[in-house]
A and B are shown apart, each in its own frame.
Chain A
Amino acid sequence: MNSNGSGQITDAAERYKSGVIPYKKMGYWDADYQPKETDIIALFRLTPQPGVDPDEAAAAVAGESSTATWTVVWTDRLTAAELYRAKAYRVDLVPNTGPGTNNEAQYFAYIAYDLDLFEEGSIANLTASIIGNVFGFKAVKALRLEDMRIPVAYLKTFQGPATGIIVERERLDKFGRPILGATVKPKLGLSGRNYGRVVYEALKGGLDFTKDDENINSQPFMHWRDRYLYSMEAVNRASATTGEVKGHYLNVTAGTMEAMYERAEFAKSLGSVIVMIDLVIGYTAIQSMAKWARDNSMILHLHRAGHGTYTRQKNHGINFRVISKWMRMAGVDHIHAGTVVGKLEGDPNMVQGFYDILREPYNAMNLERGIFFDQPWASLKKVMPVASGGIHAGQMHQLLHYLGEDVVLQFGGGTIGHPMGVQAGATANRVALEAMIMARNEGRDFLSEGPKILDEAAKTCSPLRAALDTWKDITFNYASTDTPDFVPTTTGSI
């Protein structure tokens, strides 16, 4: 049998004889392949079925995510099949797995796809190829999409964030500090009137934004129009009494696109600066809303509802950094991306990697942070990451250290659960934030002096004192499941 160095059959008659042949031999494995600048590259973590050669498993993934089916088809010969075939070109054993360790062998498989395999400006089309079929594929026991290199040529076919960090800050007139937010609690059951009260108190107290929760849409206890009307009354009252631009993320998530547009239009007509959607509405709906937001000068907030089902486990699913890339392309302005210190999953290195992907004009390869490729962003605007879930004023120094300045810090419980009330909770957070920014700019070592800086600020702010006393012992110290593969010791949550 004639074959080249990578095991591909080179004789055409042989290659296209009816029957089943290994993917490697069909041409989905090419160890010598040099990815083109315009190729899309996907990096999978794959756990082959026992007895399956990792190269063959990688070739199978390449095949199933591009042109192949389980058997040879002669119709391939009517096409430039060689071009359309994805090429697995590199397979590395994942550190700390395989023989000699306690972990089953896992492999990083690099697969290159030609640009012509994808429709321009469509996350749906991109994902239908890359994650369309392969995750249920029998040859692999588990499969996780770890990272992607999106070529500039393809990026340029996407709108990108409707507003972006810079323009958002200009519209809000808020510079040089993180934005503060809070999710209205309880999640469910408040009437529109009661709901607006929480919004008003929190914004007047010093927050910049409040937020609907992901599952607040239009339930029997509060229909959407009521929520919008009362929330906007609260937002505008708070603006008048502080002189600041304020906002409330009105969740426009609904059962149909038509309903979402209707809600978004109503939010706009009430003067809201921002609307919100959930990740579960799907990629196409997200892109549609991003276009609407750009057309209507609105900021688009995305809650990553549902992502934990496929991002959390290390051996199977999609890494959140890939979701981050897709969402920057799809065009959202805000996305929840982890807190490092809060109640939800998030190793510090991994979370900082997500933030880099969302905020930087260029990502250099950084294995410690889980960034496998150099990724230029082709001037796509920057997405504002949102840190939300179990954070409080006493962690302000850590939050600023790990997450930086371009971030929305959302203290839901940390505002509404304050012993002196919602407004006091908001004030505590704002004072803690301003004191920390001031200390950082003064050149102080704010991370190690953090508690001292907060104590000093609390001298002139009793709500901050109360917040520090109430939550002083609260930490969420569990080991992360999604940890870096390339640091000597894996780090737990702090």
Chain B
Amino acid sequence: MSDAENTPSDVNEVDIDAVYKESAIQDVLDRLDAELVGLVPVKTRIREIAALLLVDKLRRQLDLTAGNPSMHMSFTGNPGTGKTTVAMRMADILHRLGYVRQGHLVAVTRDDLVGQYIGHTAPKTREVLKKAMGGVLFIDEAYYLYKPENERDYGAESIEILLQVMENQRDDLVVILAGYKDRMDKFFESNPGMSSRIAHHIDFPNYNPDELVQIAKLMLAESNYRMSAEAEEVFSEYVKKRMEMPNFANARSIRNALDRARLRQANRLFNSRGRMLTKVDLMTIEAEDLLKSRIFAQGTDESTQDDDE
């Protein structure tokens, strides 16, 4: 330890590869690549943040002091674009690079933070903050915390406590606010205090049809299903139609569509009793399992229902 702590130490070389290897963040980045289709801009930002933290760590080794960079983030994008998944990986990266001590993720919404009566909100918010200490607090649809139409809404109290902790206890937790882009923008406009404490704004783009088909294939493979070649063609038709409908929720809608396809596949197999089924039969989603979807039956304009077709 040098006598004067502010003087850069005599050692003036650090091994970036060694620190990189030791942190094993490549594993996390690889996993992110494997798990999430597309999202190139998001992945790039994550890489940048990882690089920042890594260099910061190296600088600290050479006693080049600088305040801990702020790491609070906002993730904006439509539902099903991978915000929660990325938040989980982010927590992991922050932990591996020593930015947070425990690396767990606590995901909440307004109901977990805001109470029903006077004196209820502060303890609730603090309870959540305490659970998240040492890790990442992920607040989904954060704009619901702020209800300008109701003067006496307790959400403001929760925001105030959050702000305090985000400012004073940066070393203890990272907050990620998430939600639709336009609503988040409005939220930040009316809450400049919150806006100024967010260091990283990451926008999650919608998936394009090819990416969605790829996601579907990944999801099916995870649960030991596959689509026949014919079914795959039908599915990419399906995706295009579904995207034009209301309440489209990217990967989430894909998962729901696949769940229903599995249901129809099971029915089809059940009705074909009297013959032996092969392993392939049990694994394969056929075109007819998809074609029975109401999207094909009724056309897009009539279906204004939500995802539950």
Query: Taking the complex as a whole, does A directly touch B, i.e. does some CB pair lie under 8 Å apart?
Result: no
Residues of chain A touching chain B, judged by Cβ–Cβ distance below 8 Å, are none
